[in-house]
Structure 1
Amino acid sequence: MQARNFLLVLLLLLSPWLSATPLQFEAEYQTFEKQPVSLQALIGKKPVYLKFWATWCLDCRSELPSLEQTYQKYSDKIAIFAVNLNINETDEAIRSLQQKHKLTIPILMDNNGTIAGNFEFKGTSFHVLINAQGDVIYTTYKDDAQLAEKLVQLASNAPTVATASTPTNTAPITALPKGIAVVYFTATWCDWYMKDIHPEMSSNCANSLQLVDKLYRSNPKLPLTAYVTHLWTEQTDLADYIKKFNIPYAVTTDDNNQQFRHLKANEYPTFIVFNNGKEIGRFTQFDNAGKVQKEVEVLLKGK
């Protein structure tokens, strides 16, 4: 009986690791400097450190000097990449930070979230350590002493036990109805968080929100599916967002950005019009909201 109980406890302890799905990457990615990189070829052969970031993430910016120091210290023992989410990014913003902090670390550009989608995280900066056996051994949002300790262990290539799991479930892809349908992607924080960092993005988000509100109120039967990214968003944030803007339509959190990635979006906001499941219009710039509204209304009448 004792042996049986011990086995049960062991299985319970191991279950997060046993249930983890293998890491899945595309055959090739590119660095910001257009150099090809195969993450899949590295996994299981060399320790890997992935640091997810974005130029508009203030915490990410503050951690760049530390990240460069880590790269200088461990690049001969660990494959280290600054993985840019590639959402609402510009070459100018990346280049500016690269030059400001004299970054030599390879900046790997995620492709439609196919790197980030392997890991469940709520925001950046996010750190992932993968041992030479291909196991995720540590994840964290903090660049602190514990991360430094884990990096020492990873660089030593000492035997380590997987302590973090990769997602085992993904949200089902929402089927589009027949006829005209609209899908809208945005973020609960886009209008206020971006206000000082990227005011043009903040304005664009606010304009898109007003446009969608007008379209929905004038077409209350419009099949509209609205998503907010799961990044930096809890249920309370979503509730506050709906209340703040008096949103009349249903809004859902896009868990792990599954729907966003499925429709190959890479900007917030994005507004897509479909007809019988086929995309007939995509809009990401809303500075001239009147023009966009007219173009959308033409598409809506084409049913």
Structure 2
Amino acid sequence: MKRLLIFFMAVIPMLTFAHPLQDVRVVALDSQQSISVKNYAQGKPLYIEMWATWCSPCMKQMPALQKHYREFGEDIAFLAVNIDLNDDAEAIQKVVDKFGLTVPMAQDTENSLATTMQLNGTPLHLVFNRKGDLVYRTHETDEQLETVLTQLKQGVELAAIAPTQTKAYDYQFDTDIVLFSAIWCETYWATRNPKAAQECQQARMQVNGMLRQGKSVTVVVSNLWTSEQDATAYKGEFADEVTMVIDENGKLFKRHGIKSIPRILTLDSELR
């Protein structure tokens, strides 16, 4: 059996985070052109919201995003970045139309922003000062976020915050099958994205059939809103023992170009 060895360091030196957006590029939805996030702000502070059309909290916060853009958009560069997981242009446009959004939109087509900023759940709000340093990170649109935006508008030079520290991972996949999925895809998506929820259920049943045939399986689940306890519980949904891996920083999804789940890959043909 062929073996797939994936090694990456998720611990990023503090020096790298001085300007975390250095190599990050996203695709602008209006022009479909790749843009450098580092250069996008052109000397202004920068506010980014990472979101998905199927994310209920994201939808609840869209009016606040538009409100903040109206209030601060002249002094702060804004960019709403869709995370490009089980999403498409039609779904995004429906959200834009529903909420009357005029804030600039982009899509993280290469998972560049998500992996760099260690996306762990949506919506994620990221605020950078004029130097490009990350100064605020939150999942909420609350008074503190508005205070930070107000300070930046007034020219206050906010200090960079310390990066999130994560451990290093050494994955050695020695299985016949790898399933990319999420622990919440059958439950949370049952109402938010029914088609994908049904596909996730079907993929799990298909994998269970493979397990009964003696195949070995690794299940890689998205790190979005997922704890070790969640992954352990999800492991019990499989017919036999599987290797369960939480994709801590989205590196495995990015490496294999996973833009929608579920996705079943075979080690010999697709994970070389």
**Could you state the TM-score of these two structures normalised by the residue count of structure 1?**
0.78
Give the structure 2 partner of residue 293 of structure 1.
Answer: none
1:109-147 per-position Cα deviation (integer Å, ceiling 9, x unaligned): 002210111112421111000101111001011100000
Q: Which has the higher contact order (CA 8 A, sep 6+)?
A: 2
Is residue 139–residue 164 contact of structure 1 (8 Å, CA) maintained in 2? Answer: no
Does residue 270 of structure 2 align to residue 279 of structure 1?
yes
Distance 1:247 1:67, change over 3 A: farther
Does residue 209 of structure 2 align to residue 214 of structure 1?
yes
Cα drift, residue 268 of structure 1: 1.3
Give the structure 1 partner of residue 95 of structure 2.
Answer: 97
Give the structure 2 partner of residue 235 of structure 1.
Answer: 228
Q: Pairwise mapping of residues 179-194 of structure 1 onto structure 2 (< 5 A)?
A: 181-194=176-189
Of the candidates 48, 51, 57, which is equivalent to residue 49 of structure 2?
Answer: 51
What is the alpha-carbon distance in structure 2 between the residues aligned to residue 268 and residue 33 of structure 1? 26
- RMSD over aligned CA atoms reads 2.5
For this pair of structures, how many residues does the alignment match?
A: 259
Distance 1:61 1:25, change over 3 A: farther
Distance 1:240 1:175, change over 3 A: closer
Q: Pairwise mapping of residues 64-103 of structure 1 onto structure 2 (< 5 A)?
A: 64-103=62-101
Cα drift, residue 272 of structure 1: 1.5
Cα drift, residue 43 of structure 1: 6.2
Does residue 196 of structure 2 align to residue 201 of structure 1?
yes
1:155-183 per-position Cα deviation (integer Å, ceiling 9, x unaligned): 223221112426676644x4555xx8432
Is residue 44–residue 134 contact of structure 1 (8 Å, CA) maintained in 2? Answer: no
Distance 1:155 1:20, change over 3 A: same
Is residue 24–residue 116 contact of structure 2 (8 Å, CA) maintained in 1? Answer: no
Distance 1:17 1:43, change over 3 A: farther
Structure whose alpha-carbon radius of gyration is higher: 1
**Could you state the TM-score of these two structures normalised by the residue count of structure 2?**
0.86
What is the alpha-carbon distance in structure 1 between the residues aligned to residue 220 and residue 271 of structure 2? 19
What is the alpha-carbon distance in structure 2 between the residues aligned to residue 70 and residue 107 of structure 1? 15
> Which residue identity is paired with 1:254?
D
SS at match of 1:227: strand
What is the alpha-carbon distance in structure 2 between the residues aligned to residue 175 and residue 43 of structure 1? 40
The percentage of aligned residue pairs carrying the same residue is: 28
Cα drift, residue 234 of structure 1: 0.6
> Which residue identity is paired with 2:198?
S
- Structure having the higher helix fraction is 1
Give the structure 2 partner of residue 107 of structure 1.
Answer: 105
What is the alpha-carbon distance in structure 2 between the residues aligned to residue 144 and residue 280 of structure 1? 43
